[in-house]
Structure 1
Amino acid sequence: MSSKLFFASSIDVPSVPTQLMTVDSLANLVPGNDYFFKPDVSSQAKGCFILTTTKEGLFHSTSKDGVVRVDGKQAVIDFLLGLSKNLNYLQQPRLVMPPEFADICDNDEVVVVRIVTLKVAGGFMVWRANVELPISRKVFIRPYAINVDSGAIPQLDGKVLQEWQAIKVLVTYAHQQVIDLNAVGWDVALTDKGPLLLEGNINWGTNLMQSEKRGGLVDAMYLQMIEGLNPGRDSL
């Protein structure tokens, strides 16, 4: 789970195409396509870069926070290879947000849903979730709580995620493939081609999952998970 590359290659669900960034992969970049590069082990978009290209062969790379900018194909390739001297970097296509969010975001960066699933005695369940709206040139996001039953987002005028039920099936099936973990925070990218799994997180952000009057972590669902860990014992 800590290695994004291993996770992407081993999980059997619709996920974002991911490969190790190498000299060969950079040599095969297709002009006119955009890409996203990130460290294999990272969090909060640190060290991530967006590469935009044109069919005419113009290359432009910008760090997620907008601080670092590199122009020119060879300069971009040399820069990215330099990053990979100390860390394994991953290469993905740049994702496009779905039209349903175009009217509430001031940029075209990917919209992510963070969903926590719990392993309980009867299987796996979706516990809490946030939609994370991107902020242009920032590594942090604006989180809004999702009603896990309906997919509604109260703070966004009750907007309902169009493929919420399919997303729930996606993450609970993913959790079945890592059954040794009792709680996982899944990142699902909402794209113009439908929801795609980005990654799973062991450290899934306890503070945000208690925000917007959802209360503390130990609720009825969480207790079901604890009871599943200690069958026949008093979970309190």
Structure 2
Amino acid sequence: MRSTDYQSRWLRLAKAMQPNTLVKALSGAPLIWSTLTDDGTAATTIHRVFSRQCWREDGVAGGAVLVAGAVFMLPVLVATATIYTSRCGGRVRKETRKSLPRQWAEQITLGVRLAVPPPWYYIFELYRPTHYRRAAEYLYRSETKSGIYDMLRRQRGCHASTEGLRDKALFGIRCREHGLPVVDTLATARDGVIEGIDALPDADLFFKPIKGAGGRGASRWIFIGDDRYQASDGQTVTREALQAHLCELSKEERYLVRRYVVAEPSLGDLTPGALSTVRVVTCIDQDGVPEATHAVFRMASSRDVVVDNFHAGGVAASVDLATGELGMATDLGLRADSRWWSTHPTTGAPILGRRLPYWDEVLALATCAHRAFGDQVAIGWDIAILDNGPCLIEGNKSPDLDIIQRTSRTPAGNSRLGDLLALHLKSAFAT
């Protein structure tokens, strides 16, 4: 056998053993969703196409992993349900009077019937009868983040725009080329060298890995004068020490240096420790035009954090697309004290019913930005609302739907976004 054949087999095997493939396998989704009856709904179409493409694209090695995952699915399901019932069950019992054994049994049932991982029983409040009955309408992380989004990208061959979304430095360049307002990038740092500037400026700064996600590795440095900067934890360092710190960080991965910006003044009471942003999801419609389908306003939950990421402990509220009005705010729903708030948990500022400024401009910016990355089917935009209007922070090539479905308390599978995703999947992978 030729060496290239060996290499190809090893590459397929390596792909099959990737964490995302293992998560899909252990959830049982590729196997279970393939058995769903086609009822013509968008949600079922998405589940079924995802399942079929998993078997088609992962090859023999991937198929073996999927089969093995199905074998181990039940013990993993039992263990995970036990952990999350222990963590969240007491709170839900107080809210609903549903016993812990019943919560545990419902998680097992949903896992076996619909491949619903136990954490999402609590994230999507499937312990509520109305939500439980609609469990198949939700879109789950195992089929979206490294599932249908990646499948569509491979089919459409959109490598350049994907890299432009993944690499925050390239993202800024592409946005400026298209005349889009984007937060200033002052410098980059890699291999222990700061590129673009000779010295850090007298300005508030924000450091973030160029390919980081979920707020990982981010830090904020406020310029306090006399060549000194202060971190969010109160630590004070000199310019020289901060530059040395940045150089050290960049030896592990590339970093971006941005000017730290603050929200429009009327939103100041909703930004206790970090800049709050709007996450707007856009999707290409049936006519090839970007359309905003969902929006969420994200907020830091305490003063000692520097990012507003939902999966990093932040809170979020759904936004009415027509009016820019906020709904109730919530966290991810996986803590013993998870709850819903009509006011900010730290500042006490009103959230429910509040209208965001520059709302029409926010939606217009999101759809215009999608045109600059037009070969992508769906994108999640992080947009800051500043004193002079909305400004792009970054674009997400695989927009998270946990935050959308949790805050709206409504599944996305048969929403406008679900309809469009199903349309693209059917077009790309004829059913």
1:167-212 per-residue CA deviation (whole Å, 9 max, x = no partner) reads 1110111111212211111000122332110111023221111123
Range 213-222 or range 175-184, more displaced: 213-222
d(CA) in 2 for partners of 1:56, 1:105: 27
d(CA) in 2 for partners of 1:102, 1:60: 20
Pair 1:220–1:17, CA change in 2 (3 A)? same
d(CA) in 2 for partners of 1:23, 1:105: 30
Match status 1:59 vs 2:224: no
The aligned counterpart of 1:100 is: 266
Pair 1:75–1:224, CA change in 2 (3 A)? closer
Pair 1:74–1:220, CA change in 2 (3 A)? closer
8 A Cα contact 1:116 1:126, kept in partner: yes
Q: CA deviation at 1:24?
A: 5.4
> Please, which of 36, 48, 55 is the counterpart of residue 218 of structure 2?
48
Specify every segment of 5 or more residues in structure 1 that has no aligned partner in the other structure, as ranges: none
- What percent of counterpart residues are identical? 23
> Please, which of 182, 188, 202 is the counterpart of residue 20 of structure 1?
188
The aligned counterpart of 2:254 is: 88
SS at match of 1:36: strand
d(CA) in 1 for partners of 2:324, 2:425: 28
Specify every segment of 5 or more residues in structure 2 that has no aligned partner in the other structure, as ranges: 1-164, 329-350
8 A Cα contact 1:26 1:77, kept in partner: no
Structure 1 length normalisation: TM-score? 0.87
Q: CA deviation at 1:228?
A: 4.7
Match status 1:188 vs 2:361: no
The aligned counterpart of 1:7 is: 171
8 A Cα contact 1:60 1:76, kept in partner: no
d(CA) in 2 for partners of 1:153, 1:84: 39
SS at match of 1:172: helix
The aligned counterpart of 2:130 is: none
* Structure showing the higher strand proportion among its residues: 1
Figure out how many residues of one structure are paired with residues of the other and give that number.
229
The aligned counterpart of 1:111 is: 276
Pair 1:131–1:24, CA change in 2 (3 A)? same
The aligned counterpart of 2:420 is: 224
8 A Cα contact 2:358 2:385, kept in partner: no
The aligned counterpart of 2:373 is: 178
Q: CA deviation at 1:217?
A: 1.8
8 A Cα contact 2:378 2:398, kept in partner: no
Aligned counterparts, 1:119-138, within 5 A = 119-122=284-287, 123-134=289-300, 135-138=302-305
8 A Cα contact 1:111 1:191, kept in partner: no
Larger radius of gyration between Structure 1 and Structure 2: 2
d(CA) in 2 for partners of 1:105, 1:49: 16
SS at match of 1:106: coil
d(CA) in 1 for partners of 2:408, 2:262: 31
State the one-letter code of the partner of 2:174: S
Structure 2 length normalisation: TM-score? 0.49
Pair 1:114–1:27, CA change in 2 (3 A)? same
Q: CA deviation at 1:214?
A: 4.0
Pair 1:228–1:204, CA change in 2 (3 A)? closer
